[in-house]
Amino acid sequence: MEKIIPNKVYMINKENFVSQANVITRICMTLKYAEKEPIDPYIFLKYISMGLAVGKCIIFVTFNEKQDLNACVVLLLKDNPIQGKVIWIEWAWTDGKDLKLGLKIFQEIEDLAQRLKADRIAGAMTRGLKAVSKRYGLNTAYMVIEKIMKKEVN
């Protein structure tokens, strides 16, 4: 097994996702304990596994000195008929202990966008919009609006 280098950005994609099942499980366990935005890890696992299998998802991860997951970004590759090829930031998480790490990962996202000849990098977020926009040089392109639908109990 390859020695994990702290804060090195590793990519999980269609070619290697099966061999990275343990890392994907660690991501799902991190999701399970997320306090501000809890996500069902089993639904998320199914969702990203399908995206990885067809080559429409890429994940960037980093680990700290203890080899604990300290950052993760899930990207979806979209071919939008209006906006062109879009790298969509579906989900991002960091333990918040190294502010430079976010910049390092975003540089990897920009490099990926260049390699894939993407027209844009985009995403939606619920918190920290101003701080993230300024830090990574992002512009507000549109607002996301929603209506939460109540589920009927059968």
Closest CA to 48 of 109, 110, 8, 90: 90
With contact defined as beta carbons under 8 Å apart, do 29 and 41 qualify? yes
Average pLDDT over residues 17-29: 84
Residue 9, pLDDT > 60, answer yes
Per-residue confidence band for 75, with pLDDT thresholds at 50, 70 and 90: very high
Q: Give the per-residue pLDDT at 52.
A: 94
Task: For residue 60, give both structure tokens.
Answer: 């960037």
Name the residue type at position 89. I
| pLDDT 10s digits, 99-127 | 788 889 999 999 999 999 999 998 887 66
How far from 27 is each of 52, 59, 139, CA to CA, in Å?
14, 10, 28
Class of the CATH domain delimited by 10-124: alpha beta
Helix (H) or strand (E) holding 12: strand 10-12
CB 131 within 8 A of CB 99: no
Q: What is the mean pLDDT of the chain?
A: 85
Burial, 11: exposed, middle or buried (Cβ in 10 Å; 0-12, 13-18, 19+)? Answer: middle
Instruction: Give the domain ranges of the chain.
Output: 10-124
